[in-house]
Structure formats: C-alpha cells, structure tokens
C-alpha cells in the first residue's frame, strides 16, 4: 500500500506517469485530505515538460499555511529540467505536517539527487530493484548486443554532472542481474570508476559516460 508519511514525499515510478493513479484517492482518504485540496500538476498542452512557472506556483501554494491537509500531485516530474526541479526543493524541505507530495515519473535517475534523497520510492514497473525502471532495463539488455546505440539513446544523452552519476548507478544496478555472465564485473568496475571521476569533478560528464559505455560494451563483447 502506498502511503505518504509526514514530511516525506513519495516518488512513484510508473509507465503512466502522465496521469494520477488510484493511490492518490487512497492517500487522500487515509490522510483526510479534502477533494478540493488535492492539487494536480500536469504537462501543459503544447509543452514537453513541466515548467518552472508551474513549480513556482506549487511552491507559492505550499508556503501558505492552512488548517487542513493538502496533497500536491506532480505528474511527469522527471520531464522537468534540473533548475525547475530545484524550485520544489524548498517546499519539500519546509513542508508542514499537513502537506503531502506525490511525484510521478517514468525514470528515477532523471530526478535530481537532492529530490530523490528526500523521498520514498515506489516502483510500479514490477522490477525487483526500486531504482531501475523499464527504460534502463531495456538499455542494459541492448548493451550486450547493439554497438554504440547509447550514443544516440535519449536516456544516455544530455547528461549533466548531477544526473550522470545517477544514470551510471542505474545501469550498474541493472547489470547486477547479469553478474554471473562473463565480463559483467569488469564492465561494472569501469562504470563505477567513471562515476567517481565525475563526482570528483575530474571529468566531463557526457563525454565520460560515452567513453565508459564504449569501454564497458567492449569488455562485454570481448568476454563472450
């Protein structure tokens, strides 16, 4: 059962992240949130992502003290840019006990670490690992068979210094399912080495991830 706790938002990883799920009504009932105090934010028509204006509006609403519980539901939260996601951070840190947040997303790694660290995570994809969604599982499967596909794959492109380590973490966690296959442990070491370089600001995030994936794939192919 999905249940929001005081001061702790919930990230729900879902294939239908564009629309609220049945858990919203359940959480509202469990926490006595009136229907007119459920605020849902979705990507606007003609847009491809949540905008900073939308998140600022949520921030403004959350800053106002009220006597009843409120539930803020943000769909497709992982489409928001890093700066836009950061707009919500203060609201999560300073939320009063009557405020609850649900963030829907298709991919956990696209949510900035400072947000993820303040949330519980519920994975509705059915993966045994809460951190790895279907997109990364498919990415990892292709890593064994399709040379250089990752150089143009959406999930491994436009990676910043903040998102690149989280992306590498997900790939490593997904590779763990193949740990007994030849070359996998070596590929994992290469990815973790690159993650450490990026975290210590010693490498360009996108170029380093590209190079690490090429090296990891070469290790996997050479071991087969």
Q: What is the pTM of this model?
A: 0.65
Q: Could you report the per-residue pLDDT of 160-186, keeping only the tens digit for each?
A: 887 888 889 889 988 988 999 999 999
| Mean pLDDT value across residues 11-24 | 88
Q: Could you report the per-residue pLDDT of 56-69, keeping only the tens digit for each?
A: 999 999 998 888 89
CA dist 204 and 18 (Å) reads 32
CA dist 210 and 212 (Å) reads 5
Choice between 106 and 34, residue whose per-residue pLDDT is larger: 34
Angstrom distances, CA of residue 37 to CA of 31, 98, 100: 12, 11, 11
Residue 135 in this model has a pLDDT that exceeds 60: yes
CA dist 62 and 108 (Å) reads 24
Q: Mean pLDDT check: name the lowest of 96-100, 126-130, 142-146.
A: 126-130
| Domain boundaries, given as residue ranges, for the chain | 10-123, 134-222
Whether domain 10-123 has CATH 3.40.50.300: the reply is yes
Angstrom distances, CA of residue 194 to CA of 16, 21, 78, 176, 206: 32, 37, 24, 17, 11
**Mean pLDDT, all residues of the chain:** 88
Residue 1 in this model has a pLDDT that exceeds 50: no
């Amino acid at each position: 059962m999905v249940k929001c706790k005081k001061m702790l938002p919930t990230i729900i990883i879902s294939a239908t992240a564009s629309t609220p799920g049945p858990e919203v009504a359940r959480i509202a009932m469990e926490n006595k949130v009136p229907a007119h105090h459920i605020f849902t934010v979705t990507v606007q028509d003609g847009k491809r992502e949540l905008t900073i204006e939308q998140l600022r509006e949520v921030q403004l609403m959350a800053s106002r003290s009220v006597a009843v519980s409120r539930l803020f539901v943000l769909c497709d939260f992982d489409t928001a840019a890093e700066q836009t996601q950061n707009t919500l951070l203060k609201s999560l840190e300073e939320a009063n006990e009557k405020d609850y947040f649900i963030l829907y997303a298709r991919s956990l790694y696209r949510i900035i670490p400072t947000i993820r660290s303040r949330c519980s995570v519920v994975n509705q994809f059915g993966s045994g690992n809460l951190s790895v969604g279907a997109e990364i599982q498919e990415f990892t499967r292709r890593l064994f068979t399709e040379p250089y596909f990752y150089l143009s794959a959406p999930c491994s492109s436009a990676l910043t210094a903040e998102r690149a380590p989280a992306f590498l973490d997900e790939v490593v966690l997904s590779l763990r399912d193949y740990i007994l296959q030849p070359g996998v442990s070596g590929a994992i070491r290469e990815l973790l080495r690159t993650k450490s370089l990026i975290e210590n600001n010693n490498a360009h995030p996108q170029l380093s991830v590209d190079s690490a994936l090429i090296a990891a794939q070469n290790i996997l192919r050479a071991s087969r």
